[in-house]
Each structure stands twice: as C-alpha cells, then as structure tokens.
Structure 1
C-alpha cells in the first residue's frame, strides 16, 4: 500500500512541472507555460525523477534505496512548497496559483508521506559495486563532474532569491540522498582509483563555465568563490590537518593583496617600485605572507586551544589597525591609511591583458572570464600542493599532532617546528590568493580584512567555510566557500543577520553532521563510531 502511495505521488510529481503554476510571468522563471518546465519547475522535475528512479530500481543504491528515496522526496517537497508559497506571497494570495501548482504541492506531499512510511532497508552490508573497465570509469567520472558543474552553474546563475531559495534545499537533500544510498562512497572509491582522470575531469568541467556565460555578472560571483575557496584551502592546512584554531587568517590574504598593490604600478602606491611582472608579484606576495606567518606563528604556536585562538584573533586585528594607520600622519606613509591603494592595474602576462576582451574558440571573454581562468590555475596549484603535502611525511606528522600532540611528540615529532611550517605554508597560499584579489578588485583597503563583517572575505567566513565544508579534505572547503558566498550574494536580508545565521548553521552542523558536508573518512568514523561498531 505504501509503495503504491509513493508511486502515485512520484507519477503526479513528474506530471506537475509540465503544467502552469501561475498565470502571470511576473514571478521569476516564467511558470505560465504548459508542456515546457521552467525556473523552479525544473528542480522539482529533477527531484521527482530521482525519487522515481530509486523507487523503480532500488538496486541503484548499494546501501539501500529507502533512505535515499526519503531524502529525494524531501528535496521535491521543499523545493515545490517554497516555490508555491513564494508565488502566493509575491503575487498577493493563493488565487495566483494555477492547477499545476496545486498538483505539485499535493503530489510531493504524497510522495514524502509514502516514502517515510516504507519499511527501512535491511541491506547489511551494502552491495558491492562492480568494477568497470578503465575507460568506463573515466567516462563516469567525467559525467559526474560535468553534472556537478551544471548544478553549481544553475545555483550561481539563478536570477532571483526565490529561485535560489527553491534550489538550495533541493541540492542539499539530493546530496543527502547520494550519501545514504552508498553511491557517494562508490564514487569516492572510483575517484581514488583514477586520481589523474579525476583531476583532469574536474578541471575540464570547471573550464566549461565561462563558455556558458554571455556577460560578466555571474562570472564575477564565480571569481570571488574561487578566491575564497583558495584561501579556505590554505586555512584548511592549519585548521583541518594540524588542528590549530586560527581566527586571524584573513590578515595573510591582506598581506598578499597589499604587497601586490604596492608593486603593481598603481598611481596610489607609495613605493617607487614596479610595475613588476605578475609572476614576480605573486612570488613576492607569497614570500611576504610566509614571513608574516613565521613572525606571527613563532611566538604564538607554543600556546594551545583557546589561548592560541585569542592571540591569532588579536594579530588579525593588529594587521587591520596597522595598515589603517600607515597613512603618513599617525605612522609611516605606506598604505594610505583608510583610503587604501586604489587603481591597481589589471594583470598582463606575456602580452595577455586580463582587463581586455579576448575571443577564445569563438567566445568573447571579458575581464571576469579572464580572471576566472587565472583563478582556476591558482586553485589547481593550491589543490596540488595541498594533496601532495597532505600525503607526505609532513602531512602525516600534522595529522598525528592534530590527533594527539603529546603522543606525537613522544614519537619524535617536533611539534613546534611542524606547526610553524603549517602556519607558514597556509599563510603563503593566502598571500597568493591575495595578489590576484588585489588586481581583480583593483584595490586593497583595510575594511576588507576584518574578523567579521557583513560581506566576505573575513576570518569568520573562512573558518565557517572550512568547518561546514569538511575539515581535512580538498573538496570540503571548496563546497563550503561556494555555499557561504552564494547565500549572502543571493539574499539581501542575509547580510543583516550573517553572523547569527552562520552561528546557527554551525550549531546545527555540530549536532547532525559534525564532520562537515564532505567529511574526511577518519573524522567521519570518529564522530560516528557507533555506526561502525553496530
């Protein structure tokens, strides 16, 4: 009976996106057409298709399909009801709902009720996933990354808060379905066996994004996401691999940005240096940030826990106050004080001006698309360094210090030296991102580098990206940075309550998923030890 109820809900949910949900195109996405889903209807259709596939072919889920079906049904329910309620609120009442909207709301509710009344999976252990030929595995990996890039592109390019609000819970619940179905673990094993193919597929999928954009509006958002993702990966070395709570990390981003602004030929620069070529600017920004990391880390890394966090928070504020005062009146003339260093010129590499329009494969690339390509190269470099160091003897020493510093020290690991090395490496990667950020934003001003602010970057934002995404992983901070930048960018009201909502999100994550959205396997087993022993 419950299966038939679920099947009826899924079938009706598949039909509803092909009917009109409202009578007027004033609601974003144009939900007035019959036979042609648009806007949030597409999200409902995808969720319904996923639920139907799990219901019709439960063997698709190696760990069992019922829990995955429940998550998919919640994805369909939330995205549909958010859209239906938004139509009624925005347009002035339920009278603006067409029959398709009523059918969608009822069918997704029926689907969710039916899925949650199905008996639990009894599959133990999960079904083994058959090995595929090498070429087939590469094709699967490529398809997964193309699909992931399409999902991210859809989220970035949603043209209204209503559409993004409908998209976000659906994406989270479908991600939950992927995890509990066992497909996430199978995909992880697949990528582990084909690391080179995984890296190439990820880079190729990311390169597709600027070719899908006709202007720089959404590419600018993608640029900022990549900058913050690169910085979050650097912070992940300190927080995720070594377990040091750094609350002033944004200062290293500012160090790289100010270094680049001073030597890049800006008319506001107080130094008679430059313009230096970008490769020299990037190396100098990394070097200055590395030195800053050593200077800050040497006296502070002998502290532990809350004391270390408080001291790093103090150093972050000291940086902002210092650059704010180096204006020639209360200190030496170096940073122009609150006015900062403006008119930072665009990067020019081998005659390629990143501020000019170019044509690549017949597609016009504007300023933001050019910087997108450069930032992809930066992300690739940061991911390569992070992965190589994390798998090395140094990375294993960091993890040992994170797990039990006393035991690691007793085994011969010099805790202070390895922690200082992590601090310096994380700082240099933030400095590299800062050099690109100064050129992209064409300035470096003190207010950009606070501990907490209504808009990123700030230390609280970066730390939240690492914790929410998943400490100690490569993809976790990337996902965390994307979510935490997109949400304030899409919702104007969010900026007023950013810190409160970040704190609420952290509390919820600590209760229900303390290992993060994309967890490190070891940390996941630590937090869910009961699931392993039962």
Structure 2
C-alpha cells in the first residue's frame, strides 16, 4: 500500500473571475474582449467585391462565412460569461468552464483564418481584405491567447499540465458525466425535442450550403463547437435524458428526419439526404457484424449489391433478363431473402476463420461478387446482369396508387421524387434500428458481445460461436439487401462498379467500415452519424474526391488518438479506452487542501 499525497490545493476553475487569481482573471477578461471583438468584426465588410461567394461586402449584415464566425464568437462569449458566474448561464458548463472556451476560441480562429486565406487566394492577395476581416481575425487571436491563459479544468486524479499541447489534449478528452439536476418529466422531454430540433437545423444548414468555402467553414465551426459542448458536459446530460426517455427520443429523432424533405427546395440536396439514409442503414447492418459480433467483414457491400440486383431483375426493367414485375413488397422480401442466402453461403465456409484471415476471405468474396456481375453478360457467362452496362431503366415505385416518381403537394409543401424515396428509406431505417436494438438487448446480442470480446472464453462458457456468428452474418446481409432494393429504384440502374471495396463514390466496403469505426461500434447513433459525415463531405466537396481516402485515413488517425471509442460510444468502450480510476481506494481523511490517493497493490 502506497499513499500519495498532494498538499497543493486544487484550483476552483469554475469560480467567478473576480475570485480567481490575478493571471486567471486577466486571461478570462482577455478571452471575453477578444470574442467580443471577433463578433463585432462580422458586422463590418470583409472584402470590397462580391466576386467572393457569400457577398461579404455589406456592412451591418453578416453573410456567408461571417455568420459562422459570429455564431462561434457568440458561443465563446456565453461560455466565458458562464465562467464569470453570470446568473442563468451556469447550466452551460456543468462539466467545466475553461476547456469549452479554449475549443470555441480555436474554432473562431480556424473559421476566420480560413475565410481570410480563402479570400486572399480567390481574389489575389491580402490587399482585398476590408477592415472587418482584420478586426475579427485580431479578436480571434486575442481570444485564443486569453483562453489558453486559463487554468485547466481539474478533475479528480487529473493533472492536465500547463503547456499548450497538454491543455489542448485535456480539452479534447471525454469529460466525466456531470451529475444532472433533477427536472420535471415535461422539462426533460422538451430538452430532448429541442436538442433534435437544433440538430435538424444544423444538418439542414450544412446540406444547403451552396459553395465549398462555406461548407468547409461550417465543418470547422461544427467540429469545434460540438467538441466544446461535449467537453462542457451538455452532451452527457442530454444522453442521460435520452437514455431515460428512449421512446420519446426515438419519436423525436424520426419526427426530425420526417421534417427534412419538407425543408428542402432543391431536389439535389434531398437526393443527398436519401443516399445518406441508404448508406447509414447499410452501415447499421454492418454494425451487427462488426460492432456486436466482432467479425471484420471487408466485402459487406456485396450484400447491398445482391439486394439491388435482385430488385432490378424482378421490378419490371425492360433490360431485365427475367422479365417479371413483382410488386414492391415482394421485391423487398426477395432482395432481403436472396441477400440472406448469399450471406449464409459465404459465412458457412469462412466463419471458422478469425481475425485477419476472415477479413481477407470476405474481401475476396466481395470482389468475386463484383466480377461475377461483370461477367454475366452473355459473352463471358450467361446473360443475366448485362455486364458492365448493368440493369438500367428501373421503373419508379407505385405503392397503392402513390407514384414515387412524381412531385406531391403535402400540406402546402412540395414533396419531390427524392423526398418520396427519403421517407420510404426512413421507414426502412426505422425497421433496421428496431432490429438492431432488439438484437443487441437480447440473449443472442449478449452472446455476440461475448464472442467479440473473447471467442475462446465464450466457447468455454457453452456458447456455440460458429452458429451465432453465422446468424450475425446472415442478419447483416439481410439488412443490407433490404436497403439495396430501395437504392436500385432511387438510382434508376445498378452496375458492378457501384459495389467495390474502395471507390470514389460511397457506399463501398471501406467507407462502410470507416463509418462504423468513426461513429462508434456497437451503438445505434454512431454508424448513422459516421455514414452521414462520410457521404456528405465528398458530396459537398467535389474537388477533394481524388484525395478523400487519404483525408479519411488522416481523420481516423486523429480520431484514434483523441477519441478511440468513436464519436458516439457506449459505456463499455469508454471504460475500455479511458482510465477511470475505479481501482483507486479512498485514503483516510487528510487535512483541508490535501488530496490523498491510495493505490491498491502498489
């Protein structure tokens, strides 16, 4: 038994600035002044010509990238004032005041600095900047200096260090969930609804951005803003409420999703939303295989292709070699059933392998599917899939007289073709979420998790590993085939090039796996968020398509460094990847101002 005693009193970093030591109080005032200066600069012109997108020439009316700087600076001001102890703002920072301020000021500096660089590059030099850009840029720099002059938010057993990088790493680390104040049930429900309403607004703003510069600025602002809100403890509080009111949470989530197509006037953006749902649903199906059962499947996109090709063959396409026209419900069941059979046929001979060997074999089967669809062209093999030309002219759905290919007026809002398919895919997503949730909470789901953690130990406890892994493989394949039937109708055609291991356009196996890892394995929201990010970013930034694999690789490396459990992590992953101090045994009571820790077995 070794006792470690620190006689240095822990700083109260949540106290008002007037009660802090002089350097900390001066740093908070500096951060406040810099944030206010950055906000004021957004009401001045940033450039003299409207050739730069967003029209940043107007004084008194922020536009484009100015709005993002304004939002970031306003949030930074609120969090700084919360640290002052301003009445009514204490709820903003239940997990600490200084780390969120550092992150928000960095976000303001990043957005403003990017805007200045973009203006200078597009228009040909810094001479094209007006005073507003310099005012906001100077204010952002001052705010960052002040924010990093603040002491770190100290938690029990936590020593963040005093340098720039230690404090930045501390700001990015996951906070301990704050102890939430008890609220009435109706207030908790309103908070959940408000959280999803804000999420819908942010998503609609991002998907509606008209030019790449604004979307990049949006990504910078959202990345730093969400991390700051998470570090402040607000995300943990909302998560606690959603776990308490699961039914309300699911209802609010799907209500917000239903509202999305009615908020769009551009059918192209609605089409992106529909494809995101397809990508997210397939990623959620892969999460059964990878996240729950721990099976590394690198050919999963083949199951999506099986469902899509099956639907294309039986849905009445003039180029179909079968020449039949099933109703949609029959085509859906056929696509899911064929995908399930395909999953069993692949899984039966391969699931006795583990680890890298299983990954290599599944990768091979994925490529075999693509090459088989390519060669069933009447020359290299039977004329079934029309080879590289694929199966085009797949007719739009018509369910109970509702033509999905036409625009419909619903409550005064025009629901376009893409909106029709978005709502249909949303229904399929709800089914997949229900299946995943029920499976994860079942006895079979717990057996999958046991196999994922240690298959040898699970087998020793009486679990039939092969049978359960085959079940996970078959279920994941059926869910992917379900999404493939909608993808075939939405895209009008299916071709072999759509189902590669890695390609320029998702979904493909590499991006699906990245979506699961990025979002958080074994969770429902993780793959949905990961898939949305990985599909939306290439769709909005066309010039980055040649480098997207490199950029996503860099993003995954950064994620593994700062948040290895993923953007949305379950409790198991948080305990696995972060030190929790659960083995620390409280020592005897020490004098005031001292911190005592006894390490068991030290």
TM-score band, normalised by the shorter chain?
over 0.9
Q: Is the 8 A contact 1:64 1:126 kept in 2?
A: no
Q: Contact 2:317–2:392 at 8 Å: present in 1 too?
A: yes
Match of 1:39 in 2: 64
Deviations 1:191-222 (A, max 9, x none): 00111111111111112211221120211111
User: Relative to structure 2, which stretch is displaced further, 2-11 or 305-314?
Assistant: 2-11
Which residue is equivalent to 2:352?
302
SS of the counterpart of 1:9? Answer: helix
Structure 2 residue aligned with 1:78, among 110, 132, 138?
A: 110
What SS is found at the alignment partner of 1:32?
Answer: coil
Larger Rg: 2
Counterpart mapping for 1:223-242 below 5 A: 223-242=274-293
Once the two structures are TM-superposed, the CA of residue 507 in structure 1 deviates from its matched residue by: 2.0
SS across alignment from 2:260: helix
**1:457 aligned counterpart, secondary structure:** coil
Q: Could you tell me how far 1:504 is from its partner in structure 2?
A: 2.1
For 1:19, the equivalent position in structure 2 comes to: 44
Q: Of residues 206, 223, 228 in structure 2, which corresponds to 1:155?
A: 206
> 2:318 aligned with 1:318, yes or no?
no
Over aligned residue pairs, what C-alpha RMSD do you find? 1.4
Question: 1:487, 1:494 within 8 Å by CA — same for their partners in 2?
Answer: no
Query: Residues 91-149 of structure 1: CA distance to partner in whole angstroms, max 9, x if unpaired?
Result: 11112111111111111111112111101123557652112111111111011001011
CA positional deviation for 1:500 = 2.0
Secondary structure of the corresponding residue to residue 340 of structure 2: helix
Q: Distance in 2 between matches of 1:127 and 1:207?
A: 32
Whole-angstrom CA distance in 1 between matches of 2:37 and 2:479:
51
Distance of 1:239 and 1:65 partners within structure 2: 37
SS in 1 for 2:364: helix
Q: Secondary structure at the match of 1:359?
A: strand
> What corresponds to 2:481 in structure 1?
431
Q: When the two structures are aligned, how many residues end up with a matched partner? A: 533
CA 252–161 in structure 1, closer or farther in 2 if over 3 Å, else same: same
1:323-362 superposed matches below 5 A: 323-362=373-412
Correspondent of 1:515 among 565, 582, 595: 565
Query: Structure 1 residue 419 and structure 2 residue 476: aligned?
Result: no
Shift of 1:370: 1.0
Distance, in Å, in 1 between the alignment partners of 2:97 and 2:583 is 22
Q: Quick check: 427-436 or 9-18, which moved more?
A: 9-18
Equivalents in 1 of 2:42, 2:199: separation in Å? 22
Note if 1:381 corresponds to 2:413: no
1:530 shift after superposition: 5.4
Give the corresponding residue for 2:173: none
Spell out, residue by residue over 1:410-466, the C-alpha distance to the aligned partner (whole angstroms, 9 max, x if none).
Answer: 111111111111111111110011000000000011010011111112101111111
Cα distance in 1 between the residues matched to 2:122 and 2:571: 44
Corresponding residue number in structure 2 for 1:170: 221
For residues 447 and 171 of structure 1, what CA distance do their matches in structure 2 show?
A: 33
Which residue number corresponds to residue 551 of structure 2?
Answer: 501
Say whether 1:8 aligns with 2:45. Answer: no
- The yes-or-no answer on 1:55 pairing with 2:83 is no
| In structure 2, C-alpha distance between the alignment counterparts of 1:75 and 1:376, rounded to whole Å | 33
SS at match of 2:31: helix
- Contact 2:178–2:236 (CA under 8 A) maintained in structure 1: no
Q: Given the alignment, which residue of 142, 145, 157 partners 1:110?
A: 142
The Cα shift of 1:169 comes to: 1.8
Matched with 1:282 is: 332
User: Structure 1 CA distance, aligned partners of 2:520 and 2:119?
Assistant: 35
- Aligned with 1:420: secondary structure? helix
Q: Judge conservation of contact 1:7–1:111 (CA < 8 Å) in 2.
A: yes
Q: After superposition, what is the alpha-carbon deviation per residue over 1:460-497, rounded to whole angstroms, capped at 9, x for unaligned? A: 11111111111111111111111111221122232112
CA contact (8 A) 1:63 1:123 kept: no
Structure with greater helix percent:
1
Segment of structure 1 superposing worse, 308-317 or 114-123 = 114-123
2:250 is aligned to 199
Counterpart residue number, 1:449: 499
Q: Distance in 1 between matches of 2:527 and 2:60?
A: 40
Q: What is the DSSP-based 3-state SS (H/G/I as helix, E as strand, rest coil) of the residue aligned with 2:409?
A: strand
Larger displacement relative to structure 2 (35-44 or 443-452): 35-44
Q: Do 2:177 and 2:236's aligned partners in 1 also have CA atoms closer than 8 Å?
A: no
Structure 1 residues 126, 238: closer, same or farther in 2, change over 3 A? closer
Supply the distance in 2 between the matched residues of 1:244 and 1:109 (Cα, whole angstroms): 47
Change (3 A) 1:326 1:531: farther
Q: Is the 8 A contact 2:72 2:221 kept in 1?
A: yes
Tell me the residue number matched to 1:263.
314
- Distance in 2 separating the partners of 1:338 and 1:387: 38
Given candidates 218, 222, 231, the residue that maps to 1:180 is: 231
**1:208 aligned residue:** 259
Instruction: Give the TM-score normalised by the residue count of structure 1.
Output: 0.97
Matching of residues 132-151 of structure 1 within 5 Å: 132-151=183-202
Corresponding residue for 2:303?
A: 252
Asked if 2 retains the 8 angstrom alpha-carbon contact of 1:300 and 1:311, the reply is yes
Following superposition, the deviation at residue 357 of structure 1 comes to 1.0
Once residues 293 and 177 of structure 2 are traced to their aligned partners in structure 1, the CA distance between those partners, rounded to angstroms, is 33
Equivalence for 2:7: none
The answer (yes or no) to whether the contact 1:236–1:477 under 8 Å persists in 2 is: yes
